[in-house]
Structure 1
Amino acid sequence: MKWALPAAMIEAGDLPEFARVADECGYDAIALPDSVFYPETVSADYPYSPDGKRMWAPETPMPDPFIAMTAMAAVTQRVRFYTNVLKLPLRDPLLTAKQIATMAVMSENRVAVGVGLSWIPEEFEFTGTEMRTRGVRTDEAVAIIKAVCAGKGPQWVEFHGKHYEFDRLMISPAPDRPVPIYGGGHSEAALRRAARLGDGWISVNTDVAQLTSAIGRLAELRSEFCRADVPFEIDVSPTDVSDIGGYRRLADIGVTRVRVAPWRMYGADPFDSQARLDAIRRFADDVIGVQ
């Protein structure tokens, strides 16, 4: 089993030390959230809470994930970084591919990209993008990123889709290994996207029953798309598992990496940076070192 730490709602200045400790303690990766801005008025319910409200204040820190990943990669040697998840349809895919390619090269291939769609109408309105076409545009954007970051270094690429189109061009630098792309989300469309286009799947925070159902459906879809034998990361955040036995049962159903927040598990103050680091070290001793 591999282990990842979520770096959500952490002050930007605390992230380099957070990454150094994760690197030293044997964690596989750090997951970075994406929140472009907090609209004062949101016309849609948050899909992951019972009352449709978000659980954080508008001033909660959400550093840009690409900048944060780059800063953390600069002070570490081994740990990997990925977005959980990047709101890809809000962004220009070529500019995004350029950023990802540069990060991959400068980090020595320690970055991956988890992608999602965004549920906030105001994010699309204020960034001048279209919410109605977000699914199709995300599929096209993933194809563009995979072409640019195919792992063959700089090469000529072109793309002719419904929403994005360009003739032959070259982006340099570009990585010498493919950048993994993970699909996020539990809807049928999200699972199909991950199975068809991605190198893995990222869950939301949920219980084992929901994870088991989603993982089973992913297996069906990967067979349908003739991708059952392709390496595939299954990255989850279980809300009802906190011991070695539970983690081993997750491995039995196909989970390859678990996101854990040790500071919550041990009752530490999540806003106390030292308490957070102590909890990260304690989990490494209690679980990672004895799994």
Structure 2
Amino acid sequence: MKYTCSIAMGPLDQLVGIARTAEEVGFDSIALPDSLFFMETAAADYPYTPDGSRMWDENTPWVDPLIAAAAMGAVTSTLRFYTNVLKLGSRQPLLLARQVGSIANLTNNRFGLGIGIGWAPEEFEWCGVPYRRRGARVDEMIKVIRLVLGGGMVEFHGEFFDFDRLQMSPAPSQPVPIYVGGHTDVALKRAARVGDGWTSAMMTGAQLAETIGKLNSFRAEYRRADQPFEFQAVCIDKFGVDGHRELAEIGVTDNIVMPWVFDGLGFDAPLEKKQDSLKRFADTYIHSGWQDA
């Protein structure tokens, strides 16, 4: 099982230091969150908390995940980065493909695109994109991004996007993996149908086991069960070596963690304390040999 460190809601000036330490102690990846802006009044409930409230406020720090990947990638050589998840629905796919291709090239293929539709109507409408039919639009966006990043002269004529022959160079030398987020059956089917993996929000171990079972069933329906597939999980109730072993047994391939929170520290803890937490976590889980037992 891989280990990924999430940097959600932390001070921006700590990102480079966290990346360096995460690579030094053996983490596989950094998970990069996405939030466009904070609406004073939201038209919809946040879907990943029991009461629909947001876990952040107008002063919570966020950084564009693509810019963060470029900055952190510049000071590392093996650490991977993926968005967890980028709100695809409010973006323009050709512009995004240009950015993703640039990061993939600059990091020597150490970038993965984790995507979700987006939950807030304001993020669509205030960025000039209709909220209606967002799922179908995102499905077409994924096709556009994969097509353009594949290299060569391409064209696309769809319901939402239409362009004649164009080419973006250089294309990444390896395909950029696309990980699909979301907990609904519609999202899970999208992940099984077109994704290289699925990424979760906060879930219990039991919820993850049920969801991974569904995903595997959907992948079989789409005749993709034999293809490589990542199960990236944020688990809220499986801790310690035994808990991590349980996650591996139910099929989690990538455990997304925030070690300083496990140590009782806040999102805004000093960088040095977060680096100490990364080292302790690595000693306990990454280098302890439990996966070889």
Residue by residue over 1:94-125, the C-alpha shift from the partner in whole angstroms, topping out at 9 and shown as x without a partner, is 00001000110110000001110111111112
Name the CA distance, whole Å, in 2 between partners of 1:127 and 1:113.
20
Partner of 1:227: 224
Distance, in Å, in 1 between the alignment partners of 2:12 and 2:149 is 27
1:18 aligns with 2:15: no
Residues in 2 aligned to 1:158 and 1:24: alpha-carbon distance in whole angstroms: 43
Are 1:30 and 2:30 counterparts? yes
SS across alignment from 2:126: helix
Q: Does 1:249 align with 2:246?
A: yes
2:279 alignment partner AA: R
AA of the residue aligned to 2:281: F
Structure 2 SS opposite 1:162: coil
Aligned to 1:279: 277
Amino acid at match of 2:283: D
Instruction: Tell me if 1:133 matches 2:133.
Output: yes
User: 1:268 offset after TM fit, Å?
Assistant: 2.4
On the 8 A contact 2:6/2:257 being kept in 1, the answer is yes
Write the distance in 1 (CA, Å) between the matches of 2:34 and 2:161. 23
* Structure 2 match to 1:192: 189
- Offset of 1:49 from its aligned partner? 1.6
Q: Letter of the aligned partner of 2:64 in structure 1? A: D
Runs of 4+ in 1 over 6 A off after TM superposition: none
Structure 1 residue runs without a partner (length 5+): none
Partners in 2 of 1:250 and 1:114 — Cα distance?
21
One-letter amino acid of the structure 2 residue matched with residue 271 of structure 1: D
Once the two structures are TM-superposed, the CA of residue 143 in structure 1 deviates from its matched residue by 1.0
Q: Distance in 1 between matches of 2:125 and 2:142?
A: 22
1:54 Cα deviation after fit: 0.7
Instruction: Indicate the residue corresponding to 1:113 in structure 2.
Output: 113
Does 220-229 or 5-14 show the bigger shift?
5-14
Contact 2:98 2:168 in 1 (8 A): yes
Q: Report deviation, 1:50.
A: 2.1
Whether 1:180 aligns to 2:173 is no
Relative to the length of structure 1, the TM-score reads 0.97
> Does the 8 A contact of 1:83 with 1:112 survive in 2?
yes
Q: 2:161 aligns with which of 161, 164, 169?
A: 164
Provide the residue aligned with 1:75 in structure 2: 75
Q: Give distance in 2, aligned partners of 1:95 and 1:268.
A: 38
For 1:92, the equivalent position in structure 2 comes to 92
Q: For 2:170 and 2:71, how far apart are their aligned partners in 1?
A: 18
Residue type matched to 1:232 in 2? Answer: F
Give the aligned partner of residue 54 of structure 1.
54
Amino acid in structure 2 at the alignment position of 1:214: T
1:169 is displaced (CA, Å) by 0.8
Q: Separation in 2 of the partners of 1:134 and 1:159?
A: 19
Q: Which AA in structure 1 matches 2:240?
A: D
Q: 225-234 or 118-127, which moves further after superposition? A: 118-127
1:11 and 1:142 mapped to 2: Cα distance? 31
SS of alignment partner, residue 167 of structure 1? strand
AA in 2 matched with 1:198? G
Give the conservation status (yes or no) of the 8 Å contact 1:269–1:275: no
Indicate if the aligned counterparts of 2:9 and 2:267 stay in contact, CA closer than 8 A: no
Contact 1:5 1:27 in 2 (8 A): yes
Kept in 2, the 8 Å contact 1:269–1:276? The answer is: no
State the SS of the aligned residue for 1:214: helix
Match of residue 201 from structure 1: 198
What TM-score do you get using the length of structure 2 for normalisation? 0.96
User: How many residues are treated as equivalent by the alignment?
Assistant: 288
